[in-house]
Amino acid sequence: LSNVNTATKPFLGFTSIVPESVPVAETLMGGQMGSENDQLHIFFFPLMAPGHMIPMIDMAKLFAIRGCKSTLITTPHDEPTFLKSIAKTKDSGFDIDVVTVTLPLKEVGLPEDCDNLSKVTTVEIRKQFMRATMMLDRQLELLIEKLAPNCLISDMFLPWTTEIAAKYEIPRLTFHGTGAFSFAGTVCVRLYEPHKKVSCDSEPFIIPNFPGEITMSRMQLPDLFREETDFIEFYNKVKESEERSFGVIMNSFYELEPYADHYRTFLRIRSWFVGPLS
């Protein structure tokens, strides 16, 4: 992550694609940087699914090794897995821990053992599960009040956490498990809707304002662009929440995909590339 252009700013050793005038670390610390006793305390809140939890755990360990206090949030069922994953880092003297929240599964009509997306078998159950995650707001508030983090890094599929972070005047950063290419391309398709300007599903179109003249057809797009579903409404909330967040953290690295620059020059989204994570 060291061979980057001069338009980037470092944040705890990671590459940040942000405007030069933004004092990133100082902003996260509320302007209190400078003392040797300062320690940035970050909450890490992944979606309850293996593909989301594993890279978030890796990231929390990376931040702890760089001198931050890392607190991971999970459910009681997954807590043993989290504790096992961070054991070596914690035993090495780094400041990392796990706290729990309990999904209100009964309130949304799900069995008590359906506390991870890996156990979800139907679209309807997935909707109920995501509704349960939205009901964790008060539990997150209590954790923030008790532990006073400086920053919240939460999964993109927990969009309601932006409002919680704003309430307590701490920055929320959105975590993406995918890289800049797919995410930036998705944003451009969402903004300009080129798929609605072709005559059939097989007719190619170029993604507007996206480097490389990438050509696609409607047949290659995810369902959320091709048909009206409940997920489209949720996805729009995800994007709106992300736009109000302090920035984005991605499981990628700058040398792998120069599309990182697209965030700074066009999308104007603060972004840090901390991959490759698991």
- Give all strands of the β-sheet with 271-273 in edge-to-edge order: 9-11, 14-17, 271-273, 247-250, 172-176, 151-155, 41-45, 69-74, 96-100
Q: Is residue 193 part of a domain?
A: yes
pLDDT at 277: 82
Q: Is residue 26 part of a domain?
A: no
Q: Is residue 208 part of a domain?
A: yes
Please report how the helices 79-91 and 50-65 are oriented relative to each other, as an axis angle in degrees rounded to 10: 20
pTM of the model: 0.81
pLDDT at 241: 86
Q: Is residue 205 part of a domain?
A: yes
pLDDT at 53: 96
pLDDT at 268: 75
Q: Which helix (H) or strand (E) holds 82?
A: helix 79-91
- The CA distance from 276 to 278, in Å, is 7
Long-range CB contact pairs, 105-114, < 8 A, 24+: 105/132, 107/132, 107/135, 108/132, 108/135, 113/77
The predicted-structure confidence for 115-165, as pLDDT tens digits, reads as follows 999 998 888 899 999 999 999 999 999 999 999 999 999 999 999 999 999
pLDDT at 36: 45
Residues with catalytic roles? 52, 155
pLDDT-flagged residues of the chain (< 50):
1-27, 31-36
Q: Is residue 164 part of a domain?
A: yes
| Cβ neighbours around 105 below 10 Å, total | 18
- The CA distance from 4 to 163, in Å, is 33
- The CA distance from 264 to 270, in Å, is 7
| Cβ neighbours around 221 below 10 Å, total | 15
- Name every residue whose Cβ is closer than 8 Å to that of residue 238 and which is 6 or more positions away in sequence: 156, 157, 159
| Structural contact between residues 275 and 184, judged by C-beta atoms closer than 8 angstroms | no
pLDDT at 5: 30
Amino acid of residue 260: A
Q: Is residue 195 part of a domain?
A: yes
| Structural contact between residues 71 and 42, judged by C-beta atoms closer than 8 angstroms | yes
pLDDT at 75: 96
Q: Is residue 242 part of a domain?
A: yes
- CATH (domain of 181): 3.40.50.2000
Burial grade of 65 (CB within 10 A; 0-12, 13-18, 19 or more): middle
- The CA distance from 77 to 67, in Å, is 28
Q: Is residue 250 part of a domain?
A: yes
Q: Could you give the C-alpha distances from 250 to 36, 52, 55, 59, 257, in angstroms and in order?
A: 29, 12, 10, 10, 12
Please count the structural domains in the chain: 1
Pairing of strands 41-45, 271-273: unpaired
Nearest-CA neighbor of 268 among 5, 27, 29, 7? 7
Owning domain of residue 194: 9-15+40-101+136-273
Say which residue the tokens 């897995």 belong to: 81
